[in-house]
């Protein structure tokens, strides 16, 4: 743009100067014609002086008194040979001997630069369009490899997630069958809990990949039953740490929510409560219906949270020793913002945290 802009600036500047020079040359030619005419006419032949729509002229005597003028009298600066004033160019010449007793001829012309300004506007617009079109094609050619790489990665992750789902299901089913055959053991229980943890991470990543392409339709969900089932799912993981659930779930509470998105909120909140609780602690899960909303909350008595803002950002984890990628709460925040769900976080570092979700517009 600099390489194009600098030459364009000087070109337009030279064009404007050329335009001014042409206008002045035409004015001087008109002055010459007037001087010749004034030198030949008599005092009573003023009507023979040429008139023009483009020029005004005035004849003054030696005492600078106006003898004749084509327009209203103007304040003339006789100290200058030529000058600009209010967009009008004035030139003053001394007259030779004439019958009119004229000593000074003042000719003025209002410079209308509409033509040159239109030319400048057209050139500027043309160059601007040229620059932006050129930049468009440059960026398009530069971005195309990135778009191809992005599509490749998108296909890769979709295929990888599809391939992972089958072995996770196979492992889970076989572990459950093994548990039925030989009974519950710590080893089998830990393996099952590990699979459940992987399944939660898998579902988070799957949601991240698909949420921009898939429309998650809302449905009438029995939140009370759904929450009880998810607590039961995480109960085995909690038992390994000696953590117990304290439930305060009212019956028959329904919400208008997409089930996949609701599961992401519940699973991530329960998973974090277990993950960051101390051993042999407890997690309080509540679901109550108020007059105009539903309040779902999960409270733990674990390590607490230092930064209540950063915790909702993607890939942010306060405890790098704990598992996970730091994407769970960012997903929860995105889903809550999308569905107009208010998140209230009460936490005290070293004491515990309570996540509350105030569901208003989705109430049935």
Domain boundaries, the chain: 2-112, 215-359
What is the SS3 assignment for 337?
helix
What would the pLDDT profile of 100-127 be if each residue is shown by its tens digit? 888 899 998 887 767 667 777 787 788 8
What would the pLDDT profile of 282-297 be if each residue is shown by its tens digit? 999 999 998 889 999 9
- 221 or 181: which carries more pLDDT confidence? 221
Which of 230, 249, 360, 238 shows the shortest CA–CA distance to 297?
249
Do 346 and 356 meet the contact criterion of CB atoms below 8 Å apart?
Answer: yes
Exposed (0-12), middle (13-18) or buried (19+): which is 167, by Cβ within 10 Å? exposed
Domain topology for 215-359: Heat Shock Protein 90 (3.30.565)
Q: What is the mean pLDDT of the chain?
A: 83
What would the pLDDT profile of 215-256 be if each residue is shown by its tens digit? 888 999 999 999 999 999 888 888 888 899 999 999 999 999
Rounded CA-CA distance 289/364 in Å is 11
pLDDT at 346 over 90: yes
> At a CB cut-off of 8 Å and minimum separation 6, what does 259 contact?
219, 221, 226
Do 42 and 99 meet the contact criterion of CB atoms below 8 Å apart?
Answer: yes
Exposed (0-12), middle (13-18) or buried (19+): which is 233, by Cβ within 10 Å? middle
Rounded CA-CA distance 149/212 in Å is 18
pLDDT at 364 over 70: no
Burial of 146-164, coded b for 16+ CB within 10 Å and e otherwise, reads eeeeeeeeeeeeeeeeeee
pLDDT at 240: 82
pLDDT at 246: 94
pLDDT at 301 over 90: yes
- Quickly count: other Cβ atoms within 10 Å of residue 285's Cβ: 22
- 313 or 211: which carries more pLDDT confidence? 313
């Amino acid at each position: 743009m600099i390489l194009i802009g600098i030459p364009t600036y000087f070109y337009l500047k030279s064009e404007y100067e050329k335009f001014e020079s042409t206008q002045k040359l035409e004015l001087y030619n008109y002055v010459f014609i007037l001087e010749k005419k004034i030198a030949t006419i008599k005092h009573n032949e003023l009507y023979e002086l040429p008139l023009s729509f483009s020029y005004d002229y005035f004849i003054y005597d030696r005492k600078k008194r106006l003898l004749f003028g084509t327009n209203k009298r103007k304040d003339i600066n006789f100290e200058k040979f030529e000058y600009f004033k209010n967009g009008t160019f004035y030139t003053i010449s001394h007259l030779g001997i004439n019958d009119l007793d004229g000593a000074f001829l003042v000719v003025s012309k209002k410079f209308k630069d509409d033509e040159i300004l239109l030319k400048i506007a057209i050139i500027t617009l043309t160059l601007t369009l040229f620059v932006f079109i050129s930049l468009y094609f440059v960026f398009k050619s530069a971005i195309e490899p990135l778009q191809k790489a992005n599509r490749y990665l998108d296909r890769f992750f979709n295929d990888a997630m599809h391939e992972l789902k089958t072995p996770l299901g196979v492992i889970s089913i076989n572990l459950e069958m093994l548990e039925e055959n030989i009974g519950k053991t710590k080893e089998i229980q830990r393996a099952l809990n590990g699979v459940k943890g992987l399944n939660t991470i898998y579902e988070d990543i799957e949601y991240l990949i698909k949420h921009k392409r898939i429309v998650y339709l809302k449905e009438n969900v029995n939140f009370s039953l759904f929450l009880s089932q998810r607590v039961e799912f995480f109960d085995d993981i909690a038992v390994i740490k000696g953590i117990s659930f304290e439930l305060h779930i009212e019956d028959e509470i329904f919400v208008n929510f997409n089930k996949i998105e609701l599961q992401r909120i519940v699973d991530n909140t329960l998973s974090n409560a277990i993950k960051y609780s101390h051993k042999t602690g407890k997690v309080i899960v509540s679901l109550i219906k108020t007059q105009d909303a539903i309040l779902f909350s999960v409270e733990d008595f674990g390590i607490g949270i230092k930064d209540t803002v950063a915790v909702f950002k993607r890939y942010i984890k306060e405890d790098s020793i704990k598992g996970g990628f730091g994407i769970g709460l960012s997903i929860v925040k995105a889903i809550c913002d999308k569905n107009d769900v208010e998140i209230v976080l009460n936490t005290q570092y070293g004491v515990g945290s309570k996540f509350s979700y105030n569901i208003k517009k989705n109430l049935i």
